[in-house]
Amino acid sequence: MDVQRVQLLAQALPDGTCCTDGCPDPKTLRLTSSLAILSSLLGFQKQNEQINAQVAASGVCPDQTETTLGTIVLLVAVTRFFRLLEENHNDQAENASQQEKTAKAAE
C-alpha cells in the first residue's frame, strides 16, 4: 500500500516533490505477484486433485469440473506470467538500444 501511495503521489505532484527512492520497479512487482499467484493456484489445483483422488477411492465418481476450471485458470496465469516476462525482456532490450545510441552520440 505504501508503494502505491508513493507512486500515486509521484505522478500527481511536480517532479522532485515526492521522493520515490526505495520503491521497487512496478514491473518487478507484477512479476513477483504473478509468481505468488501461480504458486497459490498450483497449491489449490494439487489440493483439488487430492480430494478427487480420495472421492474416487471411496467408490464415487468425482466431479471434474473444478479440476478442469482450475487447469484453465492455471493456463491463463502462466500465459500472463510469460507475457510479463516478454514485456520485461523487450523493455530491457529497448533500454540497452537507447543507451548504445546515447553512447554513440556522445562520442
The pTM (predicted TM-score) of the whole model is 0.69
Q: What pLDDT, on the 0 to 100 scale, is given for residue 27?
A: 82
Q: What pLDDT, on the 0 to 100 scale, is given for residue 106?
A: 74
- Write out the three cell numbers for 22: 526505495
Cα–Cα distance for residue pair 80/97, rounded to 1 Å:
26
pLDDT digits (tens, 9 = 90+) for 50-95: 999 999 999 999 999 999 999 999 999 999 999 999 998 888 888 8
pLDDT digits (tens, 9 = 90+) for 4-49: 666 676 666 666 565 656 666 778 888 889 999 999 999 999 999 9
Burial of 93 (0-12, 13-18, 19+ CB in 10 A): exposed
Q: What pLDDT, on the 0 to 100 scale, is given for residue 72?
A: 97
Q: Are 45 and 71 in contact (CB under 8 A)?
A: yes
- Write out the three cell numbers for 19: 521522493
